[in-house]
Every structure is written in C-alpha cells, then in structure tokens.
Amino acid sequence: MRERSKRFNPITDRSSEIIAFLMASPDMPQDEELRFKIGLSVEEAVENVVRYAYDGGIGWLEAGTSLDHDTLVLTIELRDAGTPFNPLEIPDPDITLPADEREIGGLGIYLCKKMMDSISYRYEDGNNVLTMTKKLKNER
C-alpha cells in the first residue's frame, strides 16, 4: 500500500487546492461514477474542516490517500488539530421533509455516508481523524 499525503497550513481559503490534491492522486479511479461519489464526499469533508475545525479559521489539515492493491480499497484520510468534533454523531437529516422544513446542517456528512463504503472518526493524539473508504472496480 502506497500512501500519498500533504499538510496544508494554513487552510483558510484553500479548500479547492486541498480537494484538487486529493482528486489528483494516482490512487483515484478512472471510472466517472466512482470519481463523482468520491469527489463529492471529499469536497463535503474538506469544506467541513476548513469552515468549522478552527476558531478563527487558521490551522492545518493533513490530507491523504492510499490504495490497497490487493483489495482495491481506496482510503482517504483527513487529520486536523481543530476543535474535537465527531461529524458521525450528527443525526441524519429527514430527507422526506421539504427543504425549507429541514434542520440546517448534516446533509454533507449524510451524503458522504451514502456515497462512500465506510466513514469513521477518531480523536487521536489531539487530532480529529476522519477516514473514508471506497471499494474500486477492478480497473487496474
């Protein structure tokens, strides 16, 4: 398994750069449907860190990918030292309600849960660590 990661510091106004870095990984699939699902999940997760992790918006984010070539499972990991926050504790939104009747927030992480195969959170060594995985089709 090869890992590719980079630390972005500061992250203020750098969402696009961080997302582009992750999506340019050689680990990313060529399949357009998979890339769309992964890209949407990456965008939602990165935006959440950039917008909410640090009071005042200045801090770092380490973003990386790895691919297990035996199982073809892509792993995306985001690590930050912002305020401890487990986004998986937010209840899923009631998508049966009209948009104007729904609670604000939670839709992004809900989409990540639907698009990715697994999402986990841990607080480790003073850092938030969000890990998302996606099984890739056998295209390699």
Helix (H, G, I), strand (E, B) or coil at 131: strand
Q: Considering the chain, what is the average pLDDT of its residues?
A: 88
Q: Is the pTM of this model over 0.85?
A: yes
140: pLDDT strictly greater than 50: no
Q: Is 79 helix (H, G, I), strand (E, B) or coil?
A: strand
Provide the residue ranges of all domains of the chain, joining segments of one domain with +: 2-135
Q: Answer whether CATH 3.30.565.10 is correct for domain 2-135.
A: yes
User: Residues 24-48: what's their mean pLDDT?
Assistant: 95
What's the distance, CA 16 to chain centroid?
Answer: 13
pLDDT tens digit sequence for 44-62: 999 999 989 998 778 999 9
Q: Which helix (H) or strand (E) is 22 found in, with range?
A: helix 15-23
